Amino acid sequence: MLAAYAARLARADPLSAREVGPRPDPQVPDGWSRVHLRAAALNRHDLWSLQGVGLGEDKLPMILGCDGAGVTDEGREVILHSVVPSPGWSGDETLDPRRTLLSELYDGTLAEQVVVPTANLVPKPESMSWELAGCLSTAWLTAYRMLFSNAGVSPGDTVLVQGAGGGVSTALVQLGSAAGLRMWVTSRDEQRGARAVELGADRAFASGERLPDRVTAVMESVGAATWSHSVNSLKPGGTIVICGATSGDAPAKAELTKIFFKQLRVIGSTMGSISELRRLVDFVAREGITPVVDQALPLSEARDAFARLAAGDNFGKVVLTMNDATGD
Ligand SMILES: NC(=O)c1ccc[n+]([C@@H]2O[C@H](COP(=O)([O-])OP(=O)(O)OC[C@H]3O[C@@H](n4cnc5c(N)ncnc54)[C@H](OP(=O)(O)O)[C@@H]3O)[C@@H](O)[C@H]2O)c1
Does some domain include residue 285? Answer: no
- Protein residues whose CB sits closer than 6 Å to any atom of ligand 1: 43-45, 48, 138-139, 142, 163-169, 187-189, 192, 207, 221-222, 225-226, 243-247, 270-271, 312
CATH number at residue 215: 3.40.50.720
Residue 278 located in a structural domain: no
The residue contributing the CA closest to ligand 1 atom 21 is 166
Q: What is the pLDDT of residue 324?
A: 53
Q: Is the pLDDT of residue 280 over 50?
A: yes
Count of the separate structural domains present in the chain:
2
Does residue 137 have a pLDDT over 50?
A: yes
Residue range of the domain that includes 173: 143-268
- Per the CB < 8 A criterion, the answer to whether 300 and 148 are in contact is no
Q: Do 119 and 158 lie in a common domain? A: no
Label residue 181 exposed, middle or buried (CB < 10 Å: 0-12, 13-18, 19+).
buried
**By CB neighbour count within 10 A (0-12 exposed, 13-18 middle, 19+ buried), where does 306 fall?**
buried
Q: What CATH number has the domain bearing residue 97? A: 3.90.180.10
Asked whether residue 198 is assigned to any structural domain, the reply reads: yes
Same domain, 164 and 217: yes
| Span 233-261, average pLDDT | 98
- Give, using CA atoms, the residue closest to atom 8 of ligand 1: 244
- Is the domain of 122 the same as that of 165? no
Contact 138, 82 (CB under 8 A): yes
- 51 and 111 belong to one structural domain: yes
Q: Does the pLDDT value for residue 262 go beyond 50?
A: yes
Residues 118, 8, single domain; the answer is: yes
Are 26 and 89 part of one and the same domain?
Answer: yes
Q: Which residues contact 90 (CB under 8 A, 6 or more apart)?
A: none
Task: Check whether residue 90 and residue 123 sit in a common domain.
Answer: yes
Residue 168 lies in a domain: yes
Residues 102 and 156 grouped into a single domain? no
Residues in the chain: 328
pLDDT at residue 154, as a whole number: 97
The answer to whether residues 131 and 163 belong to one domain is: no
In-domain check, residue 273: no
The yes-or-no verdict on residue 209 having pLDDT over 70 is yes
| Position 325, amino acid | A
pLDDT tens per residue across span 66-98: 999 999 999 999 999 999 999 999 999 999 999
Q: Exposed, middle or buried: residue 317 (CB in 10 Å: 0-12, 13-18, 19+)?
A: buried
User: Which atom from ligand 1 is nearest to the alpha carbon of 139?
Assistant: 6
Whether residue 284 is contained in a domain is answered as no
Q: What value does the mean pLDDT take over residues 305-324? A: 93
> What confidence tens digit (pLDDT) does each residue in 29-58 have?
999 999 999 999 999 999 999 999 999 999
Name the H helices within the chain: 44-50, 130-133, 141-144, 167-178, 190-199, 227-233, 256-261, 274-287, 302-311
* 8-state DSSP, 85: P
Amino acid 147: pLDDT:
98
Q: What distance in angstroms lies between residue 13's CA and the mean position of ligand 1's atoms? A: 18
CB 174 within 8 A of CB 317: no
